[in-house]
Amino acid sequence: MTNDLISPDLARQIEDFIHSRQADIEGFIRALVETESPSGDEPGSRAVVDLLAAAANELQCVSKVERVDVTGIGQHLVVHAFHSQRQNGNILLVGHTDTVHSRGSVGERPWRKENNRIYGPGIFDMKANCALAVEVLRAFDELKVVPRYGITLALTCDEEVGSLSGWPVLERIAQSESPRCAFVLEPPAAGGRVKTGRKGTGIFAIKCEGKAAHAGLDPEKGASAILELARQTERLHALNQSGSGITVNVGVVHGGTRSNVVAAEAEGEIDVRFRTEAEAKEIEKILSRLEPIDERVKVYVSGGINRPPLERNAAVIELFERARGVASLLGFELGEAQVGGASDGNFLAAMGIPVLDGLGISGDGAHAVHEHILADDIPRRGALLAGLLASM
């Protein structure tokens, strides 16, 4: 990929423009952070959407602002921009307005700026990035940049609790618009690296049924379900050494009744991750064919795959190379990372849409008390996203 994606002048102009709005953007981010919106907080969700919808409605390039109500959950926001370009196709920008921080968190850990760091609950994951998406559209407006494709920005309100109502909204857009690609505004990996792969996930349960017996009088008549579960756990965790993208964790176990009884029952909860569809099939096969080690014990496995992988395929690499080209115009090196955690990007990727994830502002502490972004990364990341959109 070459550097003639967009003109170097335009890249710098966009960065300068966003930089000139640094104080306003920080104010916007602050307002979003101080409007608390933990997942499932309907009034909080609406209030955050009020702020974002008002900002989007100011923009010339925005033709439609759609608010999708979900009773008892909140509101999804869909912003349609560059309607005249939609005949060429669309690009989907994906983010979320909910946070994992319960109401009152902002009182305990208020918005504060310390040197280059801006702290606040939900700022890094990902309210600052919701603001950034709107600011990128504003930069296009002000600099009279018209990208080749229409842009649809979808901000859902229940991503942090599994996107039960948000995913159908994204799926509807993906089906009706068949976007050329999707850019996911989740936080980047350490060092600002974008995410070119996310593992898929599965949740399984294992149940062992043995035979109870008195541990002192006739232990040989018993078949310990706990021993079987322990051996199966060892067997499953050995898969982590296989060198593949598969990881398995028996994270919860229950079993037995009393210390002087050979346990008749034991069960475990299993988290499974994998890098590719082929690995998903492989681990499903392994789990469905798990044989007991003690033949007197019955072993049952239930559950299944719940999120497909975002595979680092050729289309993803192409988007990454494009982003890297834009970054180099802006004078920085953009890295990539493959991570274990899933996002809505996983589902979009499974629909065959090329996805580049982790395009948010650098920082640290997602879901934690030290959650923050780096102030000087706002214009850089804004210019990266804008440059990427303009280069398509």
Shortest reach from residue 95's CB to Zn ion, in Å: 8
Q: Which is nearer to Zn ion, 18 or 126 (CB)?
A: 126
Assess contact for 134 and 58: CB atoms under 8 A. no
Q: Which is nearer to Zn ion, 45 or 276 (CB)?
A: 45
Encoded one letter per residue, x for contact with Zn ion by CB under 5 A and - for no contact, window 214-243 reads ------------------------------
Instruction: Report DSSP letters for 257-289, one per residue.
Output: S-TTEE-SEEEEEEEEEESSHHHHHHHHHHHHT
Encoded one letter per residue, x for contact with Zn ion by CB under 5 A and - for no contact, window 31-50 reads --------------------
Binding residues with Zn ion: total (CB under 5 A): 3
Shortest reach from residue 96's CB to Zn ion, in Å: 6
Q: Which is nearer to Zn ion, 36 or 186 (CB)?
A: 186
Q: Which is nearer to Zn ion, 5 or 155 (CB)?
A: 155
DSSP SS3 for 25 = helix
Residue of minimal Cβ distance to Zn ion: 125
Q: Which is nearer to Zn ion, 128 or 227 (CB)?
A: 128
User: What angle do the packed helices 377-391 and 22-34 form, to 10 degrees?
Assistant: 100
Shortest reach from residue 172's CB to Zn ion, in Å: 21
Instruction: Report DSSP letters for 167-198, one per residue.
Output: HHHHHHHHHHH--SEEEE-PPPBGGGBEEEEE
Q: In what order do the strands lie in the sheet with 90-96?
A: 62-70, 74-81, 150-156, 90-96, 181-184, 355-356
Shortest reach from residue 384's CB to Zn ion, in Å: 18
Shortest reach from residue 360's CB to Zn ion, in Å: 8
User: Contacts by 163-169 with C-beta closer than 8 Å and gap 24+?
Assistant: 163/344, 163/347, 165/70, 165/73, 165/76, 166/76, 166/96, 166/344, 167/344, 167/347, 169/68, 169/76, 169/78
SS3 content of the chain, % helix, strand, coil (to 5): 40, 30, 30
The piece of 120-128, 235-243, 350-358, 372-380 that touches Zn ion (CB under 5 A) is: 120-128
Of 165, 198, 146, residue with least CA distance to 96: 165
The piece of 69-77, 180-188, 233-241, 269-277 that touches Zn ion (CB under 5 A) is: 180-188
Q: Quote the CA–CA distance of 126 and 198 in Å, as a whole number.
A: 18
Q: Which is nearer to Zn ion, 128 or 263 (CB)?
A: 128
Assess contact for 346 and 198: CB atoms under 8 A. yes
The piece of 71-79, 127-135, 140-148, 178-186 that touches Zn ion (CB under 5 A) is: 178-186
Shortest reach from residue 198's CB to Zn ion, in Å: 12
Q: Which is nearer to Zn ion, 29 or 126 (CB)?
A: 126
- Beta-carbon contacts of 138 under 8 Å, excluding residues fewer than 6 positions away, are 21, 58, 59
Shortest reach from residue 186's CB to Zn ion, in Å: 5
Binding of Zn ion at residue 125 (CB under 5 A)? yes
Shortest reach from residue 308's CB to Zn ion, in Å: 18
Phi/psi of residue 107, nearest 5 degrees: -65, -40
Shortest reach from residue 340's CB to Zn ion, in Å: 15
Q: Which is nearer to Zn ion, 186 or 371 (CB)?
A: 186
Of 302, 336, 368, residue with least CA distance to 189: 336
Binding of Zn ion at residue 344 (CB under 5 A)? no
The piece of 67-75, 115-123, 179-187, 382-390 that touches Zn ion (CB under 5 A) is: 179-187
Q: Which is nearer to Zn ion, 158 or 228 (CB)?
A: 158
Q: What are the residues binding Zn ion (CB under 5 A)?
A: 125-126, 186
